[in-house]
A and B are shown apart, each in its own frame.
Chain A
Amino acid sequence: MPVEIPKDSWPGSVNTVTLGATGDQGGSRTSTVTIGGEQSLPFMHFENPTPHRPVIAMEVAAARPADWSAVLLEAWGSTLDDPAVWARACEDAGADLIVLQFGLKGSDDGPVSAEFAVEVVKEVMDSTGLPLVVLGPGQAEIDNSILVPIADATKGERIVLGLCEEGNYRTIVAAAMANDHLVLGKTPMDVNLAKQLNILMTDMGLPLDRIVMDPTTGALGYGIEYGYSVMERLRLAALQGDAMTQLPMLVTPGVETWKTKESKVGAGIPDEWGEWAERGVNWETLTAVALIEAGADVVVLRHPQSLVRVRAAIAELTASETA
């Protein structure tokens, strides 16, 4: 029985964005990462090839994280004491990207400062050749005070600077424009808010191929259903041709899942939750893969085992391209 396979043909596509710059391109990275370019819903190879596979970023904290799950502390060991060593370990483990996350603290428990921040970024860039996403602690003034000097000190590297939110995007976008960097825009799980921020950022003159968006996600069991559907809706809008939704999406299953009780707590919990470390990894990988199916271009993870599993899944999902 001949059956006609229904194929969607969409008028729009996702922007192609390249992160990082190599020596020839004015930077110092040994590799770059290109994401986006989709002309179909995720992995519908019978319609269009997936031009660039989703990539995995590993999160590295600029100062040893105080509140991470013991499962993560054990997995990374003393690596966590030095962001440069940690980033190197992520590269060795097969990460595509490093997300360098600054908190409110700098060295010796003092407040984070511009000098500290620039120094950590330089050390990390010396120890790994991967492209970088650099995120401030999420408080507008402090973010600006470290991201601007970081942008200046790394001109031409095509680092992704974030987070740009409605309240503080101006300074960060300006710093990115002046130094050939990219930005990450973040909005709280809402299609219209995401569009609005993208309009504001492009109005400043930042080209669309230098913006990645984080539509915000929740962890499995704690709001993933909202994030999942917002991503599906954003991707459908992009394919339908709405330019302000055609940005590649970055989401953070690592941050979200490792703060849930299921991943953080090992004692005094119901037997039905099962073995702790494996549960934590499952919590992270199931969330990540669900979001990849919903259209994520970059997933930011924390556990090395999650990296291995999600990478295998991505390889399988994009396999027919290489065959």
Chain B
Amino acid sequence: MALSGIQIYKMLPQTNCKECGFATCLAFAMKLAAKQAELDGCPYVTEESKAALAESATPPIRLVTLKGKAGEAKAGNEVVLFRHEKTFYNRPGVFIRVLDTEDDEVIENKVRTGSSYSVDYVGMELRIDGFAVEAASGDRTRLATVVEALRASTGLPLILVGSDPAVLSGGLDKLEGEAPLIMGADTSNWEAMADLAAGRGAALGIRGGSIEELAQLSEKIKEKGVEDLVLYPAVDSMSASLALNTQIRRLALKNFRPLGYPTIAFAAASGDQGRESLMAAQAICKYAGFVVIDTFAPELIYPLLVLRENIFTDPQKPIQVLPALYEINSPGRSDPVLVTTNFSITYFSVANEVEGAGLPAWLLVTDAEGMSVLTAWAAGKFDAESIAKAVKQFGVADKVDQKWIVLPGHTAVLSGELEEELPDWVIKVGPREAVDLPGYMRQVLN
């Protein structure tokens, strides 16, 4: 747990010698607490205080980074239980599982489509983070072959799943210079697994059915020198998984070090896609650092990645685009001007629609402090005055001869006032939803 300025002050020499560049030790302590100064700034701190302060500066949940040939997946470093308290930082990595007992073509196909998958969500490219290879064959050579084949088509980080260190080492042979996750250690094999992870620079997953089991194993493994650990609360039901993940997060935030690691969830659910999708959704909302699923289906991956994006956005800052006059499909002097707000979801809903339909238009984005059309309207941030102001600010009148301006259908009420604000313009009311814009543009604006 982070220390307060006063707590840090008690560990400083309290001589106010000013060598750190601050007037008093207390002032320096306050800066340290706010993470605006480094402890090195004071030459006189005792070794004992240094150790205590370093301990308190370590994040409650260790940051674990898996590295592939191309790409990384980070988990940990979270500091709150609820996103409104601050924010959640590291989006849980979504990994697709393949079994080494599956046919080569099946694996190859899943890996190729999975690793090249990318979907646009409000201007962001969303992707999966890697693959989990399960050593279901129990055969070292087979696992090695499959991992090698995988590496021919993807550089994304890998998780190797199995309980026999000798088998897993076959896969690790093919991942030199990377930091994969080995999944994992349990009460029966933890020593050999810890040696394997330590020798290969891999992170190690710990499998346990209870808090005690996980904490005990993590302590023992840490003593063997492996620090990049990931906890797998291995329970069957959604409720047990929710409970364990919550308990781990709570204890970690109370600085209980044995559980201060990210967790992994296996949503793979033997062919029941509905259940799998909801287990993965729960894992994303409630604290998993990595989520493994079986099904690679765009109609499932896309909503999961969007959910992850939503839960991991900073609640203090709506995602915004810059207010400006945007050109869509090279508009000319007789193309219409569409007005909207600068909430990024709003902007992209409209821009994608018009762009996708191949219709040229000017898109005037007003400064609505990142609010959606109706929210901004209700908050008084999107009105005739602010639209007229944007028209002037971005010199819209100089760009067009045919002065047609189209309002979002939800704000039809603004048209009267806007006519007064912009007397030389023709004010039109568009459809309510952006989906209907292309049809409207083709029919009404021609």
Are B299's CB and A188's CB within 8 A?
no
Q: How large is the interface on A (under 10, 10 to 19, 20 to 34, 35 or more residues)?
A: 35 or more
A1 near B281: Cβ-Cβ < 8 Å: no
Kindly identify which residue among A41, A264, A268, A286 contacts B278, using a CB–CB cutoff of 8 Å. Answer: A286
**A313 with B215: CB separation less than 8 A:** no
| B82 adjacent to chain A (CB < 8 Å) | yes
Residues of B within 8 A of A169 (CB): none
- A residues 221-249 near B (Cβ < 8 Å) are 221-226, 228-229, 232-233, 236
Interface residues of A in 192-231 (CB under 8 A from B): 220-226, 228-229
The answer to whether A220 and B212 touch across the interface, beta carbons within 8 angstroms, is: no
Instruction: Collect the chain B residues with CB atoms within 8 Å of residue A52's CB.
Output: none
Tell me, yes or no, whether B297 is within 8 Å of chain A by CB: yes
CA distance A268 to B119 in the complex (A): 15
Measured CB to CB, the nearest residue on chain A to B301 is A274
Q: Is A108 located at the chain interface by the 8 A CB criterion?
A: no
Q: Tell me which residues from 249 to 295 in chain A have a Cβ below 8 Å from any Cβ of chain B.
A: 259, 261-262, 264-265, 268, 270-276, 278-279, 282-283, 285-286, 289-290, 293-294
Give the number of A-B contacts (CB < 8 Å). 158
**B274 touching A312 by the CB < 8 A rule?**
yes
- In the assembled complex, the CB of A251 is this many whole angstroms from the nearest CB of chain B, namely 15
- Do most interface residues of chain A lie in helix, strand or loop, or is the interface mixed? helix
Q: How far is the CA of A320 from the CA of B300 in the complex (A)?
A: 28
Contact B281 A286, beta carbon cutoff 8 Å: yes
- Give the Cβ gap from A73 to chain B, nearest Cβ, in Å: 16
Could you say which of A2-10, A114-122, A158-166 contacts chain B? A2-10
Task: Contact check, A285 vs B274: say whether CB atoms are below 8 A apart.
Answer: yes
Q: Cα distance A45–B425 when bound, in Å?
A: 62
The residue from A2, A5, A222, A317 contacting B247, defined by CB atoms under 8 A apart: A5
Interface centre among B121, B259, B282, B433 (most CB of A within 10 A): B282
Q: Is the CB of B286 within 8 A of A220?
A: no
Q: Is the CB of A289 within 8 A of B278?
A: yes
Given A46-B247, A272-B119, is A278 in contact with B300 using a C-beta cutoff of 8 Å?
Answer: yes
Residue picked from B250, B306, B345, most chain A C-beta under 10 Å: B306
CB distance from A150 to the nearest CB of B (A): 28
| Nearest CB of B to A257, in Å | 9
Query: Which single member of A221, A229, A275, A290 contacts B281 (CB below 8 Å)?
Result: A290
Residue of A nearest to B284 (CB): A290
- On whether the beta carbons of B304 and A261 are closer than 8 Å, the reply is no
Contacts of A46 in B (CB 8 A): 243, 247
Q: Any chain B CB within 8 A of the CB of A24?
A: no
Which residues in B have their C-beta under 8 angstroms from that of A221? 121, 303, 306, 310, 345
Contact with A along B339-368 (1 / 0, CB 8 A): 000000100010000001000000000000
B212 near A312: Cβ-Cβ < 8 Å: no
Nearest A residue to B217, CB-CB: A1
Q: Please, how many angstroms separate the alpha-carbon atoms of A313 and B285 in the complex?
A: 15
Is there an interface contact between B302 and A3, defined as CB atoms closer than 8 Å? no
Instruction: Let me know if A75 is at the binding interface, CB within 8 A.
Output: no
Which of the candidate stretches B57-65, B141-149, B234-242 sits at the interface with the other chain? B234-242
Q: Are B277 and A290 in touch, CB under 8 angstroms?
A: no
Q: Is B426 close to A, CB under 8 A?
A: no
User: Residue A178 at the B interface, CB < 8 A?
Assistant: no
Give chain B residues whose Cβ lies under 8 Å from the Cβ of A305.
274
B356 touches A6 (CB 8 A): no
What are 20 A-B interface contacts by the 8 Å CB criterion? A1-B212, A1-B216, A42-B242, A43-B243, A46-B247, A223-B345, A228-B83, A229-B315, A232-B84, A236-B82, A261-B435, A264-B435, A272-B117, A279-B299, A282-B303, A290-B285, A308-B274, A310-B278, A312-B274, A319-B239
Residues of A bordering B, CB below 8 Å: 1-3, 5-6, 41-46, 188, 220-226, 228-229, 232-233, 236, 259, 261-262, 264-265, 268, 270-276, 278-279, 282-283, 285-286, 289-290, 293-294, 305, 308-310, 312-313, 316-320
